[in-house]
Structure 1
């Protein structure tokens, strides 16, 4: 392994959903045994285990939590539903702070029932960010808005492109609201190079401090066809599909991002296998197709 490959491997983080069959203790132990340094966690299993206990478990294993997923779902028109969503997101911020992660992943939410007003739904996302961003910043948590593939726009996420996510994020300070770059959702976009450069932020002038970039998280999964389990559970193992993962990673690096690289794959075929075997395969595929 070259020094460059070793440096990239040190950034590898396993998102919990990739090996859903593992409990939190199994996840922490398995990642530590494999030499990983980070894990991305999801709220439901964290809440079931207890956020403080989960934080201690991960810390004692020598790991850090690279992100918490997920908050969001801001697009409801009903005032009571909007208040409930904001309350849930404040709870998510508190959970992220307890876990010691500075990154809370947000999925915007889809169109309300009967609505066709995409611009209006996106404006409600902006309104929610305006309320939550200062609250999160006070607790050391950055909101990370994730654009999802357009096939999710109706029911799950009205933010479909990196450009749309940046349009929203750039209304707020870069250290408060960033974006998630996920290869599964963005690989098809022919404007992605320009948008990644935009997300990287301007280069500092001589003697000036660098402006924080907008990329808060970088996640990997491959695009395979036909989708084996519909649009939600059809992500492919690295190297099995159409995404040029190495080139994508190089463009994210070129934008100035040096943070963790999470592998997040929703696929029942992986969940049915031995977790340690899946993790060994993930590391091998990361080395072969990403590093």
Structure 2
């Protein structure tokens, strides 16, 4: 069920982690637009450097679609005060995402609190955190996109590691919560196709692409350019589009060892070429 070949860039978005070292957010907005890339996903550290009002004006000026704001989440913590602080930070992130007219706020839910071995408890804190922010998100009209991360990040970044877990959270929390599917994190899952069907059009809020390199030099900062690794991206794209997803395809490449060392325009031209040839 591989997807049909892509022939233009109307649905191409770049997550600004892909050029985070080379460019400021202002340079990214201008540079992506000049290269005919209509979508951008923004990390909050880059947004803070630019300022929300300035970023929103630049995005309008260049007619850019914000496919996501990264990130909210990080709910588990050792104390009630720390958990409340995380909830309040998520409220701010929701407001910022709304100000940018983002399509969703991406949630990396968080791992185990320092010193803890209780992953069941951490997952309960995630559910509690979602319940604490979802009404604010509904009022702001901002969809929350849970991003399941590869199990190698379960301890420190995300104790939600599969599409099934993300779907279960959507069932539990209800309206306003969906899923950001990143092929890097879920390509290995034997239940992936079935859980994509279960998610369906209403829950599939974002689709992130890159590749899994063999060998990988760094579990966080060595993602591959599409086509350089082992992920069958067209197959997974076919599954999500068959399930009803018609949104952007967002390139997100953390690459301290390779792509961050190259000029941003060069990286983006490779992204565009690979988008048409291997995605």
Q: What's the TM-score once normalised by structure 2's chain length?
A: 0.95
| Unaligned residue ranges in structure 2 (runs of 5+) | none
Asked if structure 2 preserves the Cα contact closer than 8 Å seen for 1:74 and 1:109, the reply is yes
Q: Secondary structure of the residue that 1:195 maps to in structure 2?
A: helix
The equivalent residue for 1:191 is 191
Q: Deviations over 1:131-161 (max 9, x none)?
A: 1011011111111111000000011110011
Q: What's the C-alpha RMSD, in Å, of the aligned pairs?
A: 1.3
The equivalent residue for 2:160 is 159
Equivalent-residue separation in structure 2 for 1:122 and 1:179 (angstroms)? 16
Q: Deviations over 1:86-143 (max 9, x none)?
A: 1111110111011111300011111112222222211111111111011011111111
The equivalent residue for 1:73 is 74
Q: 1:4 to 1:183 in 2, by over 3 A?
A: closer
The equivalent residue for 1:279 is 268
Q: Secondary structure of the residue that 1:6 maps to in structure 2?
A: coil
Alpha-carbon shift at residue 25 of structure 1 (Å): 2.0
Alpha-carbon shift at residue 4 of structure 1 (Å): 5.9
Equivalent-residue separation in structure 2 for 1:248 and 1:22 (angstroms)? 30
Asked if structure 1 preserves the Cα contact closer than 8 Å seen for 2:29 and 2:64, the reply is yes
Q: What is the number of residues matched between the two proteins?
A: 274
| Unaligned residue ranges in structure 1 (runs of 5+) | 201-211
Equivalent-residue separation in structure 2 for 1:237 and 1:129 (angstroms)? 32
Which stretches of structure 1, 4 residues or more, deviate above 4 A after TM superposition? none
Q: Secondary structure of the residue that 2:129 maps to in structure 1?
A: helix
Q: Which residue of 244, 248, 271 corresponds with 1:260?
A: 248
The equivalent residue for 2:278 is 289
Equivalent-residue separation in structure 2 for 1:5 and 1:94 (angstroms)? 34
Q: What's the TM-score once normalised by structure 1's chain length?
A: 0.91
Alignment of 1:1-291 (within 5 A): 5-6=6-7, 9-20=9-20, 21-174=22-175, 176-200=176-200, 213-228=202-217, 230-268=218-256, 269-290=258-279
Equivalent-residue separation in structure 2 for 1:113 and 1:23 (angstroms)? 32
Asked if structure 2 preserves the Cα contact closer than 8 Å seen for 1:103 and 1:142, the reply is yes
